[in-house]
């Protein structure tokens, strides 16, 4: 059994005050035999030294990331630090982080770090919590795939780092007081853990009814659909994609080994008309084009929250909605934050939420097994 505690602070400048405020909200003496911590925070908490000082004071491993905003049952803000403590007598929490990754070393670094943590525990973990960096020459799905291979498919849940800087120039991954802009942090949960993973992306009414087939692609780069250049295919649907609006069009990918479509985004429009997407685009795979609007985002949050609230025996609730959702809810950008905070606070159970730069969450496949997936635009949750 896992019990969850949360704490938050808005104090950035006075390190001791910030640490004491967090510690005053969590009774460390009441913690069980094993504990692990998660941090979502504004970049300023890393730069001021609050994160390092807090991790030094806590008697357990902590991983985390910078995020656009965070929330728990005590409130929400774009400028706070939120700490979650997971504690258990029969589940252990073991953490580590890679060195800075790049296109040449990310596979080796993920393998090395996984094996290093695996050497500290007696068996494979039941699941892995992970926070990954935004790296311009390594797509999120590639790092997720590398980790999936390293851990042989063990379910993992987490996020790509983000912040209020939409160029992702000031983001950090956190592990035990250390921080790296290009580090991959992992936390093993070993023991009787039965996580429930929830993915709520785009309402059916916002997904085109006509399926098409990827006919030319390379990794995450999409060239042709239905034997037409991508931009021509989209133009025939009335969609004109430019560098300015490219991130506003999701593509739903129906992988062969997935029961449900995975929502992915268009990232970069190249001069030849091809597009870098958020995930692998295998030729022959069925796709549909979606659309995003504020009401659809709100509906998907309500759908995800209903699934969370239906888990009556939940002890811990972790949420990572896509940061694009916050941006596209303008002018009422805090609408989803308010909904999450109000619904889950009223339920009486603790929760922690941060915005994600790319969601990492398993989905059930046609074989009935969980498969690790990288997502965009989605409301993702992990219930323990």
Indicate the range of 27-41, 72-86, 234-248, 368-382 predicted with least confidence. 234-248
Judge whether residue 365 has pLDDT over 90: no
Provide long-range contacts, Cβ within 8 A and 24+ apart, for 239-242: 239/289, 241/266, 241/269, 241/275, 242/269
Please state whether 269 falls in left (phi above 0), alpha (psi between -120 and 50) or beta.
beta
pLDDT of residue 166: 63
- Name the pLDDT band for 165 (thresholds 50, 70, 90): confident
Judge whether residue 340 has pLDDT over 70: yes
Q: Where in the chain do CATH 2.40.10 domains reside?
A: 204-291
pLDDT of residue 241: 86
Chain Cα centroid distance, residue 115 = 23
Judge whether residue 68 has pLDDT over 90: yes
Mean of per-residue pLDDT scores for the chain: 94
Domain 204-291, CATH among 3.30.750, 2.60.120, 2.40.10, 1.10.287: 2.40.10
Asked whether 182 and 101 are in contact (CB, 8 A), the reply is: yes
Q: Is the peptide bond before 26 cis (omega within 30 degrees of 0)?
A: no
Q: Across residues 298-322, what is the average pLDDT?
A: 95
Question: CA torsion sign, 132 to 135 to 138 to 140?
Answer: positive
pLDDT of residue 295: 93
Instruction: Find where tokens 């913690």 sit.
Output: 31
- Name the pLDDT band for 348 (thresholds 50, 70, 90): very high
Q: Across residues 141-158, what is the average pLDDT?
A: 96
Q: What is the pTM of this model?
A: 0.94
User: pLDDT tens digits for 180-227?
Assistant: 999 999 999 999 999 999 999 989 889 988 899 999 999 999 999 999
Please state, in angstroms and rounded to a whole number, the distance separating the CA atoms of residues 167 and 98. 23
Please state, in angstroms and rounded to a whole number, the distance separating the CA atoms of residues 59 and 220. 41
Q: Across residues 323-347, what is the average pLDDT?
A: 94
Please state, in angstroms and rounded to a whole number, the distance separating the CA atoms of residues 189 and 323. 26
> Residue 95: what are its φ and ψ, rounded to 5°?
-125, 160
Q: Across residues 300-317, what is the average pLDDT?
A: 95
Please state, in angstroms and rounded to a whole number, the distance separating the CA atoms of residues 99 and 147. 14
Task: Report the percentage of the chain scoring pLDDT > 70.
Answer: 99
Please state, in angstroms and rounded to a whole number, the distance separating the CA atoms of residues 286 and 10. 46
Sheet order of strands, 2-9 included: 2-9, 81-88, 34-41, 61-66, 173-175, 178-180
User: pLDDT tens digits for 249-260?
Assistant: 899 999 987 778
Which one, of 64, 305, 303, 299, lies nearest residue 185 by Cα?
Answer: 64
């Amino acid at each position: 059994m896992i019990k969850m505690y949360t704490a938050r602070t808005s104090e950035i400048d006075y390190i001791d005050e910030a640490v004491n405020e967090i510690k005053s909200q969590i009774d460390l003496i009441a913690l069980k035999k094993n504990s692990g911590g998660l941090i979502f925070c504004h970049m300023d908490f890393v730069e001021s030294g609050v994160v390092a000082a807090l991790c030094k004071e806590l008697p357990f491993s902590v991983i985390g990331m910078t995020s656009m905003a965070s929330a728990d049952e005590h409130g929400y803000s774009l400028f706070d630090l939120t700490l979650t403590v997971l504690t258990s007598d029969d589940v252990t929490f073991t953490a580590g982080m890679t060195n800075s990754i790049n296109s040449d070393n990310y596979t080796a670094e993920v393998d090395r770090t996984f094996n290093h943590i695996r050497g500290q525990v007696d068996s494979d973990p039941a699941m892995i919590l992970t926070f990954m960096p935004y790296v311009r020459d390594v797509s999120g799905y590639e790092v997720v795939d590398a980790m999936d291979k390293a851990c042989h498919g063990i379910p993992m849940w987490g996020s790509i780092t983000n912040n209020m800087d939409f160029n992702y120039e000031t983001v950090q991954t956190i592990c035990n007081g250390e921080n790296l802009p290009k580090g991959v942090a992992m936390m093993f949960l070993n023991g009787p853990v039965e996580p429930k993973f929830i993915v709520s992306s785009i309402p059916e009414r916002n997904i085109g009814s006509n399926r098409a087939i990827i006919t030319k692609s390379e990794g995450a780069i999409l060239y042709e659909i239905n034997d037409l250049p991508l931009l021509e295919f989209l133009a025939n649907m009335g969609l004109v994609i430019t560098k300015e609006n490219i991130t506003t069009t999701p593509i739903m990918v129906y992988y062969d080994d997935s029961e449900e479509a995975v929502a992915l985004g268009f990232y970069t429009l190249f001069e030849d008309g091809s597009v870098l997407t958020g995930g692998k685009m295998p030729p022959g795979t069925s796709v549909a084009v979606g659309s995003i609007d504020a009401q659809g985002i709100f509906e998907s949050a309500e759908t995800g929250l209903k699934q969370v609230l239906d888990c009556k025996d939940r002890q811990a609730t972790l949420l990572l909605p896509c940061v694009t959702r916050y941006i596209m809810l303008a002018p009422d950008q805090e609408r989803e934050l308010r909904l999450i905070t109000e619904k889950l606070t009223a339920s009486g159970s603790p929760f922690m939420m941060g915005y994600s730069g790319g969601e990492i969450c398993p989905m059930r496949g046609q074989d009935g097994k969980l498969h690790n997936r990288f997502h965009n635009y989605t409301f993702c949750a992990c219930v323990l």
